[in-house]
Structure 1
């Protein structure tokens, strides 16, 4: 499996902040081809040119994956490009939204990958990038790259919350709900308690699926999974 020490957790209270447990040691990862084979996904074609609509759909064409994380990775576009070059994955166009960008987003492309970067302020867009954090930058790079390896023609929308508080992270999920139908990837978690009930309604957007981290510590399950 992927190095679980790079997953991010929230602390036990609603006021706590999620902490990315980024490892400092060198790790050996599986290739995208190995991960796709392990999950029974079709092998990547030598070229994405000339695919049928059904073949493109199997690779995520026309779909949107929202990736919710805290803080800022200023190098995410360049890092994804390097990952694609290393493993022969389709390239992605990129753009950054501003506070005045129209929502919901237009439909995702049916033929190519796009990486969209958005900064959240509650459930609204901001034009100001969050502060850089090296641990969260590692988490962002991992999430973006492996979402792309799994669905290489999908649109990826990275939503960076201003901090790792639960309110900020769920605000970023609410922003994803406003952007249009898709799958929300959430690499954060907290110990469930009575306080979590006040946030549960955020996971009910129309046409949305939510995928949450289950934790790094064995059998324990983290909210909101």
Structure 2
């Protein structure tokens, strides 16, 4: 990088994701920005890991895509205006509908940190006092689980992603007691019972499991249940994304462009995809389309590449928080859940809607997440990393 720079400025550089800078020192910056998992890897197929990735340097310090250190007051990443512009959501209203977020463990500063995020971008307040935000444990009570820093960052990403795509959405955050799929599934059932909930986002995954064992937790016709496909590229099935009942959400890289849309997307190299024979495909997804005799993932996608990810106000420790740039399919799942909430059209199984209305999507036709056939390489129509494409307004949902 150049000589030491001290500046306080606002900028918008969508090709790098850098939207604001504050006083920084070039000597403190790392030239090797990379994405780091914030949650521990699962210990068994029935224990989930969150799919959030944070852009950091070799010391674990938050950085921008350029490698410049992000101080607590600096902001790097996509803004709500960027997200709404890219997916044609500007000016839309959820009409009082609610998105539920299901994650594991506690996050004691969730409401406080969300307030900072929404204030930064001029979004309406979303608090427990005004009825916009509700935080529950997995059985619907208010005695919340113990704190976990990785899962707390996941929750911050989810809350900010819903706020970015749908500022008018109400939010229910349900915190499971642990990351076991039994506890997370119990939390999904609790989320489905909350008044006004039309979409439930699940930014985590475990092994490839059968609906006959765990699918009942995610079987909620009339509610759009979304799930991240994972951040490890082509990998086969990952539950709950591989469930017959959910919308499996893959990932893209999103850049500003001088085209009619104003943006361009390609398949993100980390976007999870695959084929499982344990579960049946959703209606509209055919073997001829996917070359999979069972359920193939993804169905749809949205930005997930941490290098083009979202600016998030998240905890660094239990008592301190700051800005960092996050991605992973943990970002794309709550974005798509928010689009479902904006559409209000979730009758029956919501994962069938994009297959019946694919003209309402931006088809992603470049990029790959590995070396295989249609499960790895983006192309016209359905492909593994990006599914049928990304939201172009709400008509596909």
Q: Same fold (TM over 0.5)?
A: yes
The reply to whether residue 213 of structure 1 matches residue 228 of structure 2 is yes
Q: Which moved more, 1:162-171 or 1:174-183?
A: 174-183
2:136 to 111, 118, 129: 118
| 2:78 alignment counterpart | 30
Corresponding residue SS for 1:212: strand
Structure 1 residues 35 and 80, CA gap change in structure 2 (3 angstroms): same
The reply to whether residue 86 of structure 1 matches residue 126 of structure 2 is no
The reply to whether residue 40 of structure 1 matches residue 71 of structure 2 is no
| 1:76 alignment counterpart | 110
Structure 1 residues 4 and 143, CA gap change in structure 2 (3 angstroms): farther
TM-score, length-normalised on structure 2? 0.44
| 1:184 alignment counterpart | 200
Residue deviations 1:61-98 (CA, integer Å, cap 9, x gap):
32110000001111111111100111111111315xxx
CA distance in 2, matches of 1:18, 1:208: 23
RMSD, aligned α-carbons: 2.7
Structure 1 residues 25 and 153, CA gap change in structure 2 (3 angstroms): same
Corresponding residue SS for 1:126: coil
CA distance in 1, matches of 2:131, 2:160: 12
User: 5 Å matches for 1:70-219?
Assistant: 70-94=104-128, 114-120=132-138, 124-180=139-195, 181-194=197-210, 197-219=212-234
CA distance in 1, matches of 2:208, 2:121: 38
Size of the aligned set, in residue pairs, is 191
CA distance in 2, matches of 1:116, 1:88: 21
Any unmatched runs of 5+ in structure 2?
A: 1-15, 18-33, 55-59, 64-75, 242-397
Higher helix share: 1
| 1:66 alignment counterpart | 100
CA distance in 1, matches of 2:201, 2:190: 13
Structure with greater Cα Rg: 2
Residue deviations 1:152-197 (CA, integer Å, cap 9, x gap):
1111000000111111001100111222441000011122134x53
